[in-house]
Every structure is written in C-alpha cells, then in structure tokens.
Amino acid sequence: MPQYYQQHVFFCTNDRGADAERPSCNQCGSAAMREYAKARVKELGLAGAGKVRINTSGCLDRCELGPTLVVYPEGTWYTYVDEVDIDEIIDQHLVGGRVVERLLI
C-alpha cells in the first residue's frame, strides 16, 4: 500500500502555560513556527498528496530540549529556535534529503 505522504512533519504545539513546572513547546512559539513551515512548504510546491504534510502534534515528551518536531518516515527529531532553523530543516532535510545535524535531538 503506497504512503499518502512522502514525509510527515509533526510539530509539538503542547502548551502547559507560562507558570507550569515543565516547559512546553508552544511557550517557545511552536504554533507560529508550524504555520511558517506550512506556508513555506506550500510556497515551495512541496505540499499535498504524495508530498509533504505539516501537522500539529500533542506533547512529544522532549520538553526540556526546546521546541520539538519529528519528520516521518525517517523518525528524525529536531529542535529549533526560529524561522532560520525551520528553513534549514525544510531546505536540507525535506528537499535535500540530508539530516540537519546541528538541530538533531
């Protein structure tokens, strides 16, 4: 059975709130970075059936490592800070097929 998407990117957007004991990805801007990635993937013509899907995820339980995303089917886990990091993941990993070593979890 063929895969519906070549790659599936899950952004943790869990939000425990600013006063929580543990950090959470959305307190680090993950929802905005997901929207940015979704728009960029669409702009590059990578979105859609048989291509790349950018999705929201609940807690991926890597909270202390910064905002988290995971790319499947590879199972590659990344952290990121800003749009520059997201661009690098898109350009190198999703387009170029190369792992972004400096952002690996």
Q: Catalogue the E-assigned strands of 1-105.
A: 7-12, 52-57, 68-72, 76-79
Task: Give pLDDT tens digits for 33-80.
Answer: 999 999 999 999 999 999 999 999 999 999 899 999 999 999 999 999
Task: Give pLDDT tens digits for 13-27.
Answer: 999 999 999 999 999
pLDDT at 3: 66
Classify residue 69: in a domain, yes or no. yes
pLDDT at 2: 58
Q: What is the CATH number of the domain that holds 14?
A: 3.40.30.10
Classify residue 64: in a domain, yes or no. yes
The whole model's pTM is what? 0.94
Classify residue 1: in a domain, yes or no. no
Number of domains, the chain: 1
